[in-house]
Structure 1
Amino acid sequence: MTAATKPLRVLMPEGSSTSGREAVTILGMAGHHVEVCDPSRWCLARYSRFVRKFHHCPPLRTDPAGFLRFVEHLLASQHFDVLLPTHEQGFLFARAGGLLPPRAGLALPGFSAYRAAHSKAGFSRLLDQLGLPQPPTRIVTSADDLRSAMRFPSVVKTSIGTASRGIWFVRDASDLNLALYELDSAGDFSGEVLVQDLVTGTVEKAQSVFCRGRLVGFHAYRQVAAGVGGGEAIKESVSRPAIRSAIETIGAHLHWHGALSVDVMMPLDSTTPLLIDCNPRLVEPMNAYAAGTDLVDLLLRVSLGETPEPLAESRAGVRTHLAMQALLGSASRDGTRRDLIRECGRIATGDGPYRDSAEELTPVRLDWPSAVPLAMTTALLLTSPQIASSLARGGFGAHLLDRGSIKTIENEDFR
């Protein structure tokens, strides 16, 4: 039987990310048995009727070895068909290689390939090597080098960072001084820092699944409205053959196995998509699912050792939204309580940009416990709209890596 017809026991090693929460919905609707590990007892995935069991685990960020032992113990003591990393846990599992018990399917490339895609500097060098388009980019390792490389306006990025961490939009000397201060305070110049020319255009994202270097699933969407921290509040599926070709080239070169996603800028003055970031995982797969491309099921199949035929292209023009992101985005842009109430009304009635749009993250009608985090976020924002940014920063939880944990994992004697 295939993953589509046989209920599977799936272990997800985090439940805090929006990507993980959306994967829970897709898995649950397919009838799979889902269990979740997370260092937060109140992670997003706990508010779902599809999660059969929650495991409170050590934090990946501060105790990667303890987290790995915890997952190893679960896999050794219980039966799971698939271990499905939906965020940065893949970095750890790729490093662990064959040390994980072979009882559960897992789709990941080799560690060197994973590290090349996970590092922003490594990904930029890979794009240069493959001749794929990206904004003009300089890689620096000191404050003096950054000053010399700066051209206004630019985007400054630390080589390691996710969930919009480690990014500064530098439009003038004042922005540059702030970025330099924060980079120096955090010790980021001990690693590599990227400086990219700021390109004006539309943000798009593409997701894919590979089976031993062969592209078997692809989906792309554009950002219709931004949430807080640059994330999508409203998105719409698009057909992007050029981006598909680029990600197919990357995956074939790295002999990728599993999920791979890229962020793209579509410049206003050009038809050439510029690749700006890479995530070695699926990112919020519900828009693809709504557009007829079930990348989660495809990833299960690859994890189980199947060699699936490539999926047909997903439908363009399918719109989905994340109500929590929309409200956080409204509040972060100096929205008033009246603005928030108006946005709540448009979301509830499907008015304006939400017309014919489906909820991704908190599908209350389908999964009623998801109403809890949505209601809590709404109540907090209505009490104090100014806390939007601090609420969003709460997404940088103990389920994510930082520079220290990455260094620990990369160490030769890590265990």
Structure 2
Amino acid sequence: MILPTHEQAWLIAAGLELLGTRVPIAVADLAAFDQVQSKIAFARLLDDLGLPQPVWWLPDSPPTVVPPTFWVKTEFGTAGRGVRRAHSPEQGRVLVRELGRDGSAVMCQAPAPGEYGQVQALFDHGRMFAAHTCVQTGNGIGGSAASRESVDHPLARDAARTIGTALNWHGGLTLDYFHQDGYPHFIECNPRTVEPGNAAGVNLPALTIALTLGADLPVDCVTGIPGVRTHSSLALALGAAATSYRWGIVAALSSQGGPVVGSEVLTPIREDPLSAIPMAVTVSKTLVRPRSAETIAATAVDQYAITPALIDRVREATS
């Protein structure tokens, strides 16, 4: 079987007919992906479904009152790339030109209030049977969530169910949002299961395998256990190196108890001693040269990112 775990989920959806029925795979169809892979299409979908999000606009049709600071986003992008913050309308126009230089479509969006959160959900042809919500407790590169705490956010789960049902979604779906007291404003969708090791109390990998093989699935939606903390020491080290330099790296790792404790989801050294090797190499590089963190992260993202040019090529090949 095939388990699409990152950007290749869209690629597999685009070429699903080439696989036929020979390989078990749980992935939504391309028409559904098109509604959420694009940030602009996702913003329109949220409007159509009446789900909350910060005010957004296209550069050629700004609102009457533009917020003093706002985000400029390319239509396609991952891991925080293609997203820049503008601190004035003038800077926003510069960023629109810069991010759209390669022909990429660009949108603008007001900042969302509150704390960053995420809901990870699994669907069986539109039926949500597992969901987990968590909030950010530590920063990685680009403001990503390098450490998290599981929470009970029923409104975020309900919104995920609404989207998955509307799209007849099949497989994993992850929504990013900001919240105040559990009331979410959604900012982005990842049409896949993101970092399943953070899903306290919900075995997303096992459930994804069961879905893929057509095995029995939970009748009632399985939800996570609140109050469980998880972290990625490697992501914390990179985030600290990019912002706080050497002492920040040490402080970030120390605050989480280091990479050996049970809440580690990427390099669990006790269970997988060899995972200490990439951890040691990367942390050593950032301690010697903290600014290398951005290059390390960018190189990793370049290996899996689906670019607008690739999307155009695949559409031409499959049309």
CA contact (8 A) 1:155 1:196 kept: yes
Indicate the residue corresponding to 2:294 in structure 1: 389
Indicate the residue corresponding to 2:226 in structure 1: 316
CA contact (8 A) 1:212 1:255 kept: yes
Indicate the residue corresponding to 1:329 in structure 2: 239
Q: Name the CA distance, whole Å, in 2 between partners of 1:250 and 1:126.
A: 8
Instruction: Provide, for residues 98-140 of structure 1, a one-character-per-residue CA deviation record: whole Å limited to 9, x for no partner.
Output: 3205232101112100111111111111111111111111134
Alignment size in residue pairs: 318
1:170 aligns with 2:86: yes
| Residue among 249, 253, 275 paired with 1:340 | 249
Indicate the residue corresponding to 1:104 in structure 2: 23
Q: Name the CA distance, whole Å, in 1 between partners of 2:31 and 2:233.
A: 37
Indicate the residue corresponding to 1:281 in structure 2: 192
1:239 aligns with 2:136: no
Indicate the residue corresponding to 2:74 in structure 1: 158
What letter corresponds to residue 332 of structure 1 in structure 2? A
Indicate the residue corresponding to 1:211 in structure 2: 124
Instruction: Provide, for residues 261-299 of structure 1, a one-character-per-residue CA deviation record: whole Å limited to 9, x for no partner.
Output: 1001114xx7531111001100001111xx221111111
Q: Name the CA distance, whole Å, in 2 between partners of 1:369 and 1:397.
A: 25
CA contact (8 A) 1:322 1:359 kept: yes
Report deviation, 1:152. 2.0
Indicate the residue corresponding to 1:406 in structure 2: 311
Q: How does 1:112-191 map to 2 (within 5 A)?
A: 112-140=31-59, 145=61, 150-173=66-89, 175-176=91-92, 178-188=94-104, 191=105
Flag the 1:106–1:272 CA change in 2: closer, same or farther, 3 A: same
Flag the 1:128–1:184 CA change in 2: closer, same or farther, 3 A: closer
Indicate the residue corresponding to 1:50 in structure 2: none
What letter corresponds to residue 134 of structure 1 in structure 2? Q
Q: Name the CA distance, whole Å, in 2 between partners of 1:305 and 1:108.
A: 13
Indicate the residue corresponding to 1:69 in structure 2: none
Report deviation, 1:160. 0.7
CA contact (8 A) 1:213 1:255 kept: yes
SS in 1 for 2:25: coil
CA contact (8 A) 2:121 2:193 kept: yes
Report deviation, 1:174. 6.2
Q: Name the CA distance, whole Å, in 1 between partners of 2:38 and 2:48.
A: 15
Q: Name the CA distance, whole Å, in 1 between partners of 2:252 and 2:70.
A: 32
Report deviation, 1:172. 2.3
Q: Report which stretch shifted further, 377-386 or 393-402.
A: 393-402
Q: Name the CA distance, whole Å, in 2 between partners of 1:136 and 1:194.
A: 11
Flag the 1:136–1:260 CA change in 2: closer, same or farther, 3 A: same
List structure 1 segments (4+ residues) > 6 angstroms apart after TM superposition.
Answer: 146-149
Q: Which one has the largest radius of gyration? A: 1
Flag the 1:336–1:226 CA change in 2: closer, same or farther, 3 A: closer
CA contact (8 A) 1:163 1:395 kept: no
- Is there any run of 5+ residues in structure 2 with no aligned partner, and where? none
Q: Name the CA distance, whole Å, in 2 between partners of 1:184 and 1:278.
A: 21
Report deviation, 1:182. 1.9
Report deviation, 1:365. 1.1
Indicate the residue corresponding to 2:133 in structure 1: 220
Instruction: Provide, for residues 280-322 of structure 1, a one-character-per-residue CA deviation record: whole Å limited to 9, x for no partner.
Output: 100001111xx22111111111111235123432110000111
| TM-score normalised over the length of structure 1 | 0.72
Q: Name the CA distance, whole Å, in 2 between partners of 1:245 and 1:121.
A: 22
What letter corresponds to residue 229 of structure 2 in structure 1? R
SS in 1 for 2:46: helix
Report deviation, 1:369. 1.7
RMSD: 2.3
CA contact (8 A) 1:213 1:256 kept: yes
Report deviation, 1:241. 0.7
Q: Name the CA distance, whole Å, in 2 between partners of 1:358 and 1:297.
A: 19
What letter corresponds to residue 238 of structure 1 in structure 2? V
What letter corresponds to residue 237 of structure 1 in structure 2? S
